[in-house]
A and B are shown apart, each in its own frame.
Chain A
Amino acid sequence: MESTYALDAQGINKFFHHPAEFQVLKDISFKARKGEFLSLVGKSGSGKSTLLYVLSTMDTDYDGTLTINNQSLTGKGQNHLAAFRNANIGFVFQFHYLLPEFTALDNVMLPAMKLGKRSKEEIRQKALDKLQLLDIKDQAYKPANKLSGGQQQRVAIARALINDPAIIMGDEPTGNLDSKNTDIVFDIFRQLAKYEGQTIIAVTHDDDFAAKSDRVLELSDGYMVR
């Protein structure tokens, strides 16, 4: 039976051991439907980013179970998780983290080249489509370090989309952008959730951004309060 949930987290507990023993996530359980646009909010130190990195599979040091796309990911090896991330999760960070010497197009193609499921020409075409979607196709052949901040962030989003991931995770994806670019990014997420059925989970400090999303999850002192 195909579940309608893209992500299912149950009983997530996480401790920081250094400098002192500290429980940062306290028994967090929630599910995210396919095509749902979630905002993750909370004060600094509430654990929202920590939760996002647990959900991203990059942080494996937690208790509880994590299921994405009906695949249980708890206790899997690093290489297995890397391959899983490559195919199923797209990331957008506050900082773009593009490879500065690569062109915008090469940056977008990178995850798909790693996945290796399509020919280079197909990937190239697809990458151009994604850049078109984000309205920066004209910048495709410029090195990433020659683009403006807003353009770089859009390239980073195109890169997150290239493998058509089930879930797109953002760690303050609009944190460095002005309000115009923030609106553009928000609209893109909105459309992806609505038309592509992709689930969006974004950590944000921006109350407007959160208010416009489908559902807001709020963390406070490691508890999920909303």
Chain B
Amino acid sequence: MTRPTNTKVALSHLTSRVKQTIVAVLSVTFGISMYIFLNGFMTGVNDIQADLAFSTLAHIRVYNDLPEDRTDLISDDQLPSKRVNLRHPKVIQYSDGIINADKEMSILNQYDEIIGMTSQVSMNVFFRNGSTKVSGLLSGVNAANEDKLFGTAASMRSGNWLDLDHRSDGIILGVGLAKKLSLGMDDNVFLKTGDGITRNFKIIGLLETSLNSIDNGKAFIRINSARQLVSKNLSYATDIQINLRDYEKAEAIAAQMRQQTALKVEAWNEANGQLEAGNELRNYLAVAVSLTILLVAGFGIYNIMNMTVNEKIREIAILKAMGFEGRDIVEIFLTQSVIIGVIGGIVGILIGGGVSVMINSVPFEMASLETLPMAYRKSDYFSAFGFGLLTTFIAGYLPARKASLVDPVEIIRG
């Protein structure tokens, strides 16, 4: 019986001061919509950043790491009786690259998470056209697999990416590189490797990724042609690139892979700490700003509920005189702030979503973007509502407690 009565009193307070109620609701609405918008925007930026980064970067890279230090070969051997055969470190031969990449790939390709895997033969070369000489990176790739991992085919300005698999003398250049060399489609370009081997390739495509490091300094040829250039066997590769369904899991999967191969397995975030740091920092920023906004909204509600308590203090006194207990009074005022929180939350979610859509359609033509980025994650909406409700609950509880401690005698006697 008390409950509906308390609710009725609470509703009468809300409806008797419509303006204040609306202001309180709006402050929650504002807090929640900003929370949603900011987090959506930051997530959108992070996603774009990741998309851009992962257009050249695989989630996991497997390669043959050279020993770091070749000068001290006996310090590990503590046993005095052990015989050691010492050679000058400069003459020790280490094998470069992955000799049997196919075998390694079949060993590693056993995780459900893996959605793509390709081998590459990469090397630094000189590109040459007449007297113009430009150094750059040459990658021998399997065009179909490469496209599966990085979506390279979508970045072609001219020519067809997949032709690379059929043309042993074909090469695809970054547009910037081609410009530096004053070359266009169907022109010939000379390559010179580190070992002094030269070969002539025909340009069958130009690539424009919006990433300067690629566009201005990278070229692709068929992987077997690259193996020829470095005089290696048919299963040779310098790198194995692996993409996962969820790039967040790269570190965990890489750790498992290390158990299965002697090669170096490197997750994207180990090699590119700045990417992850950027993501993390933007997330912190979004959370900090949006929680601050919610806090301000909370102060707004606290203020308004405090005013209500002061305004209704005689009413509270009479209710207590008539036998309403402290917890009834708390309930009456907490009901009000929860109603404000729920209404503000629902409206805030709608407005937050609306603002996100609007911002998402603002033109922003930089890098590969057309409009400002935005992510729409259910979890943002849920946590915005949750935080909003929590804020209103706390902001409402303090005045409610104050109201419950009102001494009716003091108020009624004046």
Chain A interface, DSSP helix/strand/loop, else mixed: helix
Whether B320 is near chain A, meaning CB under 8 Å from some CB there, is: yes
Mask: chain A, 101-113; 1 = CB below 8 Å from B; 0 = not? 1100010001101
**A positions within 8 Å CB-CB of B:** 49, 53, 56, 58-59, 78-79, 82-87, 91, 93, 95, 97, 99-102, 106, 110-111, 113-116, 120, 159, 171
The residues of A that contact B321 with a CB separation of less than 8 Å are 56, 58, 85, 91
- Is B323's CB under 8 angstroms from A85's CB? yes
- Is B1's CB under 8 angstroms from A82's CB? no
Which of A79, A100, A110 makes the CB contact (< 8 A) with B322? A110
Complex alpha-carbon distance, A49 and B413, angstroms: 8
- Is A113's CB under 8 angstroms from B315's CB? no
Chain B interface, DSSP helix/strand/loop, else mixed: helix
Residues A86 and B412 in contact in the complex (CB < 8 Å), given A101-B16, A114-B2: no
Residues A101 and B15 in contact in the complex (CB < 8 Å), given A85-B321, A110-B322, A114-B322: yes
Which of B4, B13, B318, B323 makes the CB contact (< 8 A) with A83? B323
Interface positions, chain B 393-411, Cβ under 8 Å from A, are: 408-409
- Is A100's CB under 8 angstroms from B16's CB? yes
Interface positions, chain B 278-334, Cβ under 8 Å from A, are: 314-315, 317-328
- Is B323's CB under 8 angstroms from A111's CB? yes
- Is A113's CB under 8 angstroms from B16's CB? no
Closest B-chain residue to A97, C-beta based?
A: B318
CB of A22 to closest CB in B, whole Å:
16
Whether B5 is near chain A, meaning CB under 8 Å from some CB there, is: yes
Complex alpha-carbon distance, A130 and B4, angstroms: 22
Complex alpha-carbon distance, A83 and B326, angstroms: 11
Whether B12 is near chain A, meaning CB under 8 Å from some CB there, is: yes
The residues of B that contact A87 with a CB separation of less than 8 Å are 323
Complex alpha-carbon distance, A222 and B96, angstroms: 105
- Is A86's CB under 8 angstroms from B322's CB? yes
The residues of A that contact B326 with a CB separation of less than 8 Å are 78-79, 82
Which of B2, B9, B15, B412 makes the CB contact (< 8 A) with A93? B412
Interface positions, chain B 1-55, Cβ under 8 Å from A, are: 1-2, 4-5, 8-9, 12-13, 15-16
Closest A-chain residue to B328, C-beta based?
A: A114
Complex alpha-carbon distance, A85 and B409, angstroms: 14
Complex alpha-carbon distance, A93 and B9, angstroms: 21
**Sample of 13 more A-B contacts, CB < 8 Å, known A78-B326, A97-B315:** A49-B413, A53-B409, A56-B321, A79-B325, A84-B323, A93-B318, A95-B314, A97-B314, A101-B16, A106-B8, A114-B322, A114-B324, A114-B328
Which of A93, A99, A115 makes the CB contact (< 8 A) with B323? A115
Which of B12, B328, B408 makes the CB contact (< 8 A) with A101? B12
